Chain A
Amino acid sequence: MKSILSIKNLTLKLDDKVFFADFNLEIEENSITSIIAPNRSGKSLLTKLIAGIIPTNSNITVDDIILNRKNVLDYITKIGIVTNDLNQEFLFKKVKDELAFPLLNLGYPEHKINKRVLEIANYFEFTNLLNKQIIKLTTFEKQKLLIALSLIHKPKILILDDAFLELNNEEQSFLLEKLKELTKENLTILNITSKLDTTYLSNRILILNNFKIIKDGTPIEIFSDNDYLKELGFNIPFLIDVSNKLKFYNLIDKVYFDLQELEGVLWK
């Protein structure tokens, strides 16, 4: 499988403090990968480095385009980034104008812009909000808009930087399912998060702590030890918590990500 994002030997020193040292990461095309990280372990810094917001001399490529001054526009259009900063400044008052602006910047003709805006609003089920003022959107509506904005130019990889922090389970599941569908259409998702329950749909999970990858595995491998995750400061989701505790009493044999399946084994 092709690697869509590649970070080789990333080193970042600021004021003599080493933040990343010889950091390497390969993300497979059309996959969903989660990097789970407690607070202050390098989540947002990593996102900013991949986005090119913080310059580095290290080798970062997306879809074979290396991040440097010469390629920056080509590079950046391959990426979509969503953060949890719902109070960020929007440029326009209305939802549809905000959505149209990145495409206008990229030189899309008006008819194509209108078509794409409608298409993405329809996909995330907010066509009724296109004429609404952004200031009047709810938290969930704003987060939908931010995700749609980051995908409007059809990037190759979407980076979520704790993007679901303020959403409830229902809203989170809606967006995760929608995003998962898009991986069938050539989108790769890198979910950098502190919220473990946003990672169930991932093919691979890595743990980032103190600017280092300390574990890399499948969801079952990563989530099989409550104490280890708690020690790192994670909030353990109900299903993982229950699975590990029932496993401790030898009532089940592994972590389950579906309650129906877990109880099927428990009550068999």
Chain B
Amino acid sequence: MEIRFLNVIGEENNKFASKRINIRLKSTSITGIYGDLLERIPSLLTRKKEYLGNIKLNDTSLLKSNKLIVYIGKLHKDTFLTRTVSDEFYLMSKYLKINDKEYLEKIKSSLKMVGLNKNYLKREIKTLSRSEKRLIQIALSLIINPEVILINEPFLYLTKDNRFSIKKVLLDLCNKYEKMVIILSQDVNVLYEMTKELIMFKDNQVLASGNTNFLLKDTAFLEKNKINVPDLVLFNKIALTYDQKLPDYNEVNDLIKGVYYHVLETKDQA
């Protein structure tokens, strides 16, 4: 699965991009989107409104394609409209006109994909933790079996400990269920941790696109464009100024272990 933006500049009455956008998103790994046009991409991909330029899903125009794309917004107080998880699914199925025969099967399968069981249906929304709410939000969007999932700030309001379940679900959706997962985030640490490909916008145009590691380790490029350097990358960059070359780490605990042994080795050598 591939999405291509060809000379896209916005909608007929809302040309939000300052230059025509030409980008390519692939489903082989999680893609990240960063920067000032981040919030515009979902509206283009899901509203199916007329836009200037061409967006293609594989070789078919987005407007003619039957592929389903869902957008999962940030979790906020109005995310859920009813009292229980079951009511939320019922409301969603009515909205999507899912027939009663398919209804239960689809719910069970959606919940399974996010690692939850049907006991959650009885739960009141107010009793759910933030990570559980996020998982239910993802499960609700999976009921239509979408091929593309756009998720905005997946870890917002979550502590590092309860990010784990969301991270696993997103990786599973991409690797196990072969969905195209696109993470929209202004947090370079999230993008560095979660994505393999990255599209960066700045000044309402494409700034760069390519391999996430390559882009987010280029500290000169990031600093020139006033973009935060990921914490783990910055740590290594500062270490270099003290003539300490550390390997790349993706987790804080690995960094700490690495630093510990590095300091011991340096002391031994001295």
Contacts and interface: CB of A to CB of B under 8 A. Distances in A.
Contacts of A230: 159, 161
A251 B160 contact: no
A180 interface: no
A65 interface: no
28 contacts: A39-B130, A87-B76, A138-B36, A138-B39, A167-B186, A168-B187, A168-B228, A169-B187, A169-B228, A170-B186, A170-B228, A235-B158, A235-B159, A236-B159, A241-B252, A242-B252, A242-B255, A245-B253, A246-B256, A246-B259, A249-B260, A251-B259, A259-B234, A259-B238, A263-B235, A263-B239, A263-B242, A267-B242
A181 interface: no
B203 interface: no
B4 to A, nearest CB: 25
Contacts of A25: none
A242 B260 contact: no
Contacts of A139: 39
Nearest to A242: B252
Contacts of A246: 256, 259
Interface in A145-170: 165-170
Nearest to A174: B226
Interface residues of B, number: 34
A102 B244 CA distance: 55
Interface in B118-164: 130, 153, 156-161
Nearest to A194: B157
A234 interface: yes
Interface in A129-151: 138-139
A259 B219 CA distance: 15
Contacts of B242: 263-264, 267
A23 B174 CA distance: 50
Contacts of B63: none
Contacts of A249: 256, 260
A143 to B, nearest CB: 12
Interface of A: 39, 87, 138-139, 165-171, 230, 233-236, 238-239, 241-242, 245-246, 249, 251, 259-260, 263-264, 266-267
A103 B78 CA distance: 32
B205 interface: no
B57 interface: no
B238 A263 contact: yes
Given A230-B161, A245-B256, A251-B263, A238 B238 contact: no
Contacts of B188: 168-169
B238 A260 contact: yes
A266 B267 CA distance: 12
B186 A171 contact: yes
A267 B239 contact: yes
A238 B231 CA distance: 7
Contacts of A235: 158-160
Nearest to A84: B76
Given A246-B256, A263-B239, A168 B186 contact: yes
B74 interface: yes
A266 B227 CA distance: 26
Contacts of B186: 167-168, 170-171
Contact of B244 (A39, A168, A239, A267): A267
B227 A170 contact: yes
A249 B246 CA distance: 18
B189 interface: yes
B257 to A, nearest CB: 9
A138 B189 CA distance: 21
A263 B235 CA distance: 8
A234 to B, nearest CB: 7
B36 to A, nearest CB: 7
Given A259-B235, A263-B242, 13 more contacts: A87-B78, A138-B39, A139-B39, A166-B74, A168-B228, A242-B235, A246-B256, A246-B259, A249-B256, A259-B234, A260-B238, A266-B263, A267-B242
Interface centre among B153, B227, B238 (most CB of A within 10 A): B238
A226 to B, nearest CB: 11
Contacts of A245: 252-253, 256
Contacts of A251: 259-260, 263
B165 to A, nearest CB: 15
Contacts of B156: 165-166
